[in-house]
Amino acid sequence: MSESMPPDPGYFLDNLRTTDPEVYEALAGELERQQDGIELIASENMVSQASLEALGSIIVNKTVEGRPGGRYYGGAEFADRIESLAIERAKALFGCGFANVQPHSGSQANQAVFLAVLKPGDTVLSMALDAGGHLSHGAAPNLTGKWFNPVRYGIDGDGFIDMDAVERLAREHRPKLIICGGSAYPRAIDFAHFRQIADSVGAVLLADMAHFAGLVAGGVHPTPLPHAHVTTATTYKNLRGARGGIILTDDPALARKLDSAVFPGVQGSVILNAVAAKAVCLGEALKPSFKVYAAQVLTNARVLAGALMARGITVVSGGTDTPLLVADLRPFGLTGAEASDSLEAAGLTCNKNTVPGDTQPPAVTSGLRFGSAAGTTRGFRETEFRHIGGWIADVLHAMAASGARDETVERIVCAEVRALCRSFPIYPGLDADAPAGAEMNRAAGS
Ligand SMILES: *Cc1c(COP(=O)(O)O)cnc(C)c1O
C-alpha cells in the first residue's frame, strides 16, 4: 500500500459533546438526575473528581495480564506502578498481607474464591437471599448455585443471623466453604463465632464485606480480616471508589491460589483504569477525613432508621450497624415495587427488597432497602437524614391510606427534595471544556 490513511485531526482532541451528542445528552441527563434527586440505593455512592479522572485516563489503552512484575506483555512499567500502589494501599488500609485488586466486580471476586477453594459439587453454607444474602453466594440462578451445592442459613424472628442454625447446618452438611456478609443484612456479624464454626468442620471462611468495607476502613465497624481465611469486597459501595472488587487474605498459600483463580481462572486482562481508580479511592480511605465520612455514614443510617420507626415503619432488626437498613412494608399492606416507584417519583431513589419470610416474588417484594453512603458523601448529616425519613414516611403513609400512589404527596415531596439537593451541589458540568453542557445542568433548576 502506497497511500497511508490520513490522520483524523479531531480524534485525539474533540470532546464527547461534539462527536457524540446522543451519548453526551444521556450523560448530562444522568448528572442532573444525580444532582437533583436523593440517592438511597445502598450499593451506590459518588466517587471523587480524582477517581473520575483516573477512570477516564489513558491507562485504559494498556493491556496487561498477570501480576505486577510478572506480566505477559511488555510496556508495563506504569501499569505495574499503578497496580502496586492499589495493592499496597489495600494491604495498609485493611491490615493484611495480600491483596488482589483485579476483580472486575464483587461477583467475580467471589467466583475466584469459589474456584480457588472448591471443586464443582462441593457444599457451600451461606445466607439465604431473602435473609439478605447475595446472588454470588450460591443463589439458584447464579453459577455458584448451579455448579455447587448451596445450603442456606437465615435470620431469626428478630432479624439477626441465627447462629444456632449456622452451627447445626455446618455439622449436618460439612460445607467446604462458609460465607458471611450479605447485601441486605444490616447488622454486625460475629466473625469470631463464624470462624469457630468453620474450624469445627474444616471449612474455609469467606467474609464478603461489600456492604460495610467503608466502615471497616474508617474504623467504625468490626473487621472480619483477622477471622476470615479470605475477605472480599466491592470498591464502589461505601468504600466510595470505582466499580470493582478486591480480595484480601493473610495466608500466602491461599493468596497464590486466589491470584491464579482471578487470572487466568475467571478473568483475562486487567481493567487498568479501574485499578487506577481503586488506587485513588484506597488512598482517599487512608486519609483522616475518611474516618469522619465513615462515622457519619453510620450515624446517618441510624438516624434514618430511627426517623422511619418514629413514624410507625417497621425496620428489620430494629436498626442497623451498617450503612444500610431494610423496611418491612407488610404491616402497611404495600409491596416494595409500588412503594419504590412512588418514592422515585418523589425524588427518593431506593430499591425494593425481599424481607425475611417474604411471600412476594423477587420482582415485587414486601420491603425497601435504604443506604446512607451517597447522601453522606454529598454532605447530608443528621438533619437532612431526619427530613429524608419524614419524606419517605409521608409517601408511604399516603399510599397506605388511599391504597394507591398519591401524586399530590409525590409532587410536594419532590419539590422539597429538589430544594434540599440544590443546597448540596455535586459535580460541575460534564465537560470542563464545554460551558454549554455545564450551563445546561445549572439551567435545569433555575
Ligand atoms: C454488591 C455485592 C457484591 C458484588 O456485586 P457486583 O455487582 O458483582 O459488583 C458481592 N457481594 C455482596 C454481599 C454485595 O452486596
Which atom in ligand 1 lies closest to the alpha carbon of residue 105?
9
* CA 105 to ligand 1 centroid distance, Å: 7
Predicted confidence at residue 357, as pLDDT, reads: 87
Provide the H-helix boundaries in 286-328.
288-310
Ligand 1, atom 8, lies closest to the CA of 107
d(CA 248, CA 99): 5
**Which of 230, 234, 351, 353 has the most ligand 1 atoms within 8 A of CB, as the residue to mutate?**
234
Ligand 1, atom 15, lies closest to the CA of 183
* CA 87 to ligand 1 centroid distance, Å: 20
Sequence-separated (6 or more) residues with CB below 8 Å from residue 392:
308, 313, 327, 343, 348, 370
Q: Is 211 in the pocket of ligand 1 (CB under 6 A)?
A: yes
Predicted confidence at residue 178, as pLDDT, reads: 98
Q: Is 360 in the pocket of ligand 1 (CB under 6 A)?
A: no
Which atom in ligand 1 lies closest to the alpha carbon of residue 236?
9
Helices then strands, each counted (H, E), the chain = 17, 15
Residue pointed to by grid coordinates 500502589: 85
Nearest to 187 by CA among 17, 59, 326: 326
Predicted confidence at residue 431, as pLDDT, reads: 61
Question: How crowded is residue 342: how many other Cβ atoms within 10 Å of its Cβ?
Answer: 23
Predicted confidence at residue 2, as pLDDT, reads: 55
Q: Is 234 in the pocket of ligand 1 (CB under 6 A)?
A: yes
* CA 274 to ligand 1 centroid distance, Å: 16
pLDDT by position in tens, the chain (length 446): 556 777 788 999 999 999 999 999 999 999 999 999 999 999 999 999 999 999 999 999 999 999 999 998 899 999 999 999 999 999 999 999 999 999 999 999 999 999 999 999 999 999 998 888 999 999 999 999 999 999 999 999 889 999 999 999 999 999 999 999 999 999 999 999 999 999 999 999 999 999 999 999 999 999 999 999 999 999 999 999 999 999 999 999 999 999 999 999 999 999 999 999 999 999 999 999 999 999 999 999 999 999 999 999 999 999 999 999 999 999 999 999 999 999 999 999 999 999 988 999 999 999 999 999 999 999 999 999 999 999 999 999 999 999 999 999 999 999 999 999 999 999 987 664 544 444 444 433 33
Residue 368 contacts residue 327 (beta carbons within 8 Å):
yes
Give me the residues paired with residue 249 across strands: 98, 230
Which atom in ligand 1 lies closest to the alpha carbon of residue 183?
15
d(CA 15, CA 24): 9
Q: Is 111 in the pocket of ligand 1 (CB under 6 A)?
A: no
Alpha carbon separation from 96 to 188, 218, 223, 293, 377 (Å, rounded): 20, 15, 11, 23, 27
Predicted confidence at residue 16, as pLDDT, reads: 95
Q: Is 369 in the pocket of ligand 1 (CB under 6 A)?
A: no
427: DSSP letter: -
Alpha carbon separation from 215 to 107, 224, 233, 299 (Å, rounded): 20, 12, 12, 11
Q: Is 43 in the pocket of ligand 1 (CB under 6 A)?
A: yes
Question: How crowded is residue 162: how many other Cβ atoms within 10 Å of its Cβ?
Answer: 16
d(CA 313, CA 396): 9
Which atom in ligand 1 lies closest to the alpha carbon of residue 110?
10
Which atom in ligand 1 lies closest to the alpha carbon of residue 106?
4
Q: Is 105 in the pocket of ligand 1 (CB under 6 A)?
A: yes
* CA 424 to ligand 1 centroid distance, Å: 28
* 3-state secondary structure string across 94-125: HCCCEEECCCCCHHHHHHHHHHHHCCCCCEEE
**Which of 101, 114, 134 has the most ligand 1 atoms within 8 A of CB, as the residue to mutate?**
134
d(CA 375, CA 223): 24
CA angle 372, 287, 87 (to 5 degrees): 95
Strands across the sheet containing 324-328: 314-315, 324-328, 367-371, 351-353
Cell numbers for 382, please give them: 443528621
226: DSSP letter: T
Q: Is 352 in the pocket of ligand 1 (CB under 6 A)?
A: no
| Stretch (H or E) spanning 371 | strand 367-371
Residue 325 contacts residue 375 (beta carbons within 8 Å):
no
Rounded to 5 degrees, φ, ψ at 208 are -100, 100
Residue 143 contacts residue 193 (beta carbons within 8 Å):
no
Cell numbers for 69, please give them: 512484575
- Residue 224: cis peptide before it, omega within 30 degrees of 0: no
Ligand 1, atom 6, lies closest to the CA of 106
